[in-house]
Amino acid sequence: MPAHPRPHRPDDSVRRRGRLRPAMAAEGGGIHKPLPPDLFHIHGTNAETVPAALRRTGYHTPNDRFFVRNHTTTPRLDAADWRLTVWGDGLRGAPVEFGYAQLRALPAVTRATCLECAGNGRSYFTSQQGDDVTGTPWTLGAVGAARWRGARLADVLRLAGIRSDAVDVMPRGLDDPYVDDGVDYGRVRRPMPVAKALDDVILAYEMNGEPLPYDHGYPVRIVAPSWVGVASIKWVGDIEVSAAPLSSPWTTEFYRLFGPDHPPGGAPMTVLPVRSTWEIDAGTALPAGVTHRLTGRSWSGGGGVARVDVSTDGGAHWHAARLRDEPSEDGWVRWETDWRPYEPGPAELLARATDTAGRTQPDRAVPNTQGYFFDAVVRCPVTVV
């Protein structure tokens, strides 16, 4: 007899307010919010924030310009019908359901944290390193910082009766199952260890002071600070709590590091690396003989960003950028530097961040077949005119 009999797997159906067009109907067609070209670059079912769109924003990325990463299409769920079912052999008893009002009645926490797709920067594996990788060719716009408000996952798990020998929890989304190349992988789900779940993970229902927008997980999503964005399951409908380790295609096949530089079975992915972006679009023309205030942002999953060095001449000379924010554990820092170019012609802007744990962006990112964790210094081309 197994110590914990297999529990009832809950029905994850929920009433929807009507279906959107299929994602493949048009680029970005499965995303609910407007995607004007001055704010977003669209990649299939996903949309990234254009670098210059961050320039005039404050610390937090406004909801209308926050990147969207959807495996399928944004479902429009009704909070009144929404239920979160917590279930599994890692609980002391039967599955426990929470409604939206019940979740909102729990003690609320607010946390300003970056959310970033592990594949952010993927296109530079090809354009800077000549590596052959698969996946959405993001530049550096698959990241944003928001104030997330919600209940602690720890509180919900304790109310549901989590056992002391539970090891993993697996939140699952209510969006359509992900089908690729004829293979149905089921609904988006990804396990995390109980230690992470009880530490800093939020069941968020607000983003920057507003109810979560449809595209960002309405009515409730997971926010797992410092971890790869896929850990932050949107439209969460159920959470399995298990006394044995769990896996899903999102840990065994996707969001795993494969290739000659990684172990034969691949390496798991959790904490995000150090990265930086300039808030200027590649190819921008900058007049010579004028002082330009150039700005950017850096962030790291492994601690706050302590230092950012910049170069405006392709890496020949470097100096420290002025940091505009204190290092924050799971947020980003804004920085700036003044540049007065004299010679017309092409130039390259480079930024290299170092976090409080001493991790510095390398010149070359370690390649992997699916192009995750591009953390090398990115060369941003501009033209002095």
Q: Based on CB atoms, which residue is closest to ligand MTE, 190 or 352?
A: 190
Q: How many C-beta neighbours within 10 Å does residue 340 have? A: 11
Q: Based on CB atoms, which residue is closest to ligand MTE, 96 or 204?
A: 204
User: Shortest approach of ligand MTE to residue 224 CB, angstroms?
Assistant: 10
User: Shortest approach of ligand MTE to residue 233 CB, angstroms?
Assistant: 4
User: Shortest approach of ligand MTE to residue 244 CB, angstroms?
Assistant: 23
Q: How many residues bind ligand MTE (CB under 6 A)?
A: 18
Q: Based on CB atoms, which residue is closest to ligand MTE, 227 or 335?
A: 227
Q: Based on CB atoms, which residue is closest to ligand MTE, 71 or 275?
A: 71
- Cα dihedral angle (332, 333, 334, 335), rounded to 10 degrees? -140
**Is residue 364 within 8 Å of 374, Cβ to Cβ?**
no
Q: Using CB atoms, what's the residue nearest to ligand MTE? A: 173
Q: Based on CB atoms, which residue is closest to ligand MTE, 350 or 373?
A: 373
User: Shortest approach of ligand MTE to residue 213 CB, angstroms?
Assistant: 8
71 contacts ligand MTE (rule: CB under 6 A): yes
**Is residue 109 within 8 Å of 125, Cβ to Cβ?**
no
Return the sign of the alpha-carbon dihedral for residues 178, 182, 134, 257.
positive
Contact flags string 338-377 toward ligand MTE, x per CB under 6 A: ----------------------------------------
Q: What is the DSSP string of 99-153?
A: EHHHHHHSPEEEEEEEEE-TTTTTHHHHHHH-----S----S-SEEEEEEEEEEH
| Contact set for ligand MTE, span 234-273 (CB under 6 A) | 234-235
| Contact set for ligand MTE, span 185-204 (CB under 6 A) | 188
232 contacts ligand MTE (rule: CB under 6 A): yes
Instruction: Answer left, alpha or beta for residue 373, where phi above 0 means left and psi between -120 and 50 means alpha.
Output: left
**Is residue 120 within 8 Å of 228, Cβ to Cβ?**
no
Contact flags string 94-133 toward ligand MTE, x per CB under 6 A: ---------------------x-x----------------
- β pairing state of 192-193 and 168-173: antiparallel
- Per the document, the length of the chain is 385
- Cα dihedral angle (120, 123, 128, 132), rounded to 10 degrees? 120
Q: Based on CB atoms, which residue is closest to ligand MTE, 66 or 299?
A: 66
| Contact set for ligand MTE, span 11-70 (CB under 6 A) | 66-70
Choose, by CB under 6 A, the member of 173, 219, 296, 331 that binds ligand MTE: 173
Structural tokens at position 64: 């209308």
**Is residue 210 within 8 Å of 63, Cβ to Cβ?**
yes
* Residues within the interface to ligand MTE (CB under 6 A): 66-71, 115, 117, 173, 175, 188, 216, 229-230, 232-235
